[in-house]
Amino acid sequence: MGAARSHRIGVKIRLLVVGRGARELANFESRFLLRLKACASFQIVELPEGRGKQVAQRKQEEQKHILAEAGKGFILFDERGKALSSMDWAAHLRGLSGDARLDFVIGGADGVADEVRQAAGRCWSLSALTLPHQFVRAMVLEQLYRAFTILQGHPYHRV
């Protein structure tokens, strides 16, 4: 229990997301946002979607917003990233100092520019499947909450 308390006090987590969340997932997200705020300082930052006609133009526009907002060492969610278990997520959170700031980034519908991938401290995959970015947002919220409950020894995580 003591390890979880140290994480709650000062850890600041932000989820930077290109685009808006899906209305259909709003209730699910709200439920996990409320739960997460009991574990850490948590914020979702919605970044504008690129408006270019070409995919490359949209990615470049989104890259500017992501790199301007994301802190050093951010974690990018990308299908080419490393697949981690819920226990791995918990271990990563356990390794943070009490005053750590951690940014997670979800790109837009077209993915992210290579420069964003290169700037990321880590690149994690949620699945080998290509997932809608609004769905990824909901999954990340649930998995972050799950990781904190693992640290707390809470029965939410059942294996």
124: domain CATH number is: 3.40.1280.10
In a domain, 159, yes or no: no
Domain count, the chain: 1
pLDDT tens for 39-93 read 899 999 999 999 999 999 999 999 999 999 999 999 999 989 999 999 999 999 9
Tell whether 6 is covered by a domain: yes
Q: What angle do CA 52, 116, 86 make, to 5 degrees?
A: 120
pTM, full prediction: 0.90
- Residues linked to residue 44 through DSSP beta bridges, in sequence order: 15
The answer to whether residue 64 sits within a structural domain is yes
Instruction: Report residue 159's pLDDT band, with 50, 70 and 90 as the boundaries.
Output: low
Answer yes or no: is 158 within a domain.
no
Residues 6+ apart with CB under 8 A from 78: 107, 111, 112, 117, 123, 124, 125
Q: Is residue 157 part of a domain?
A: no
State the residue range of the domain holding 91. 2-152
Would the CA dihedral through 7, 33, 70, 124 be positive or negative? positive
Q: What pLDDT, on a 0 to 100 scale, did the predictor assign at position 2? A: 42
3-class secondary-structure state, position 44:
strand
Q: Where are the alpha helices (DSSP H) in the chain?
A: 2-10, 26-37, 55-69, 86-94, 114-119, 133-152
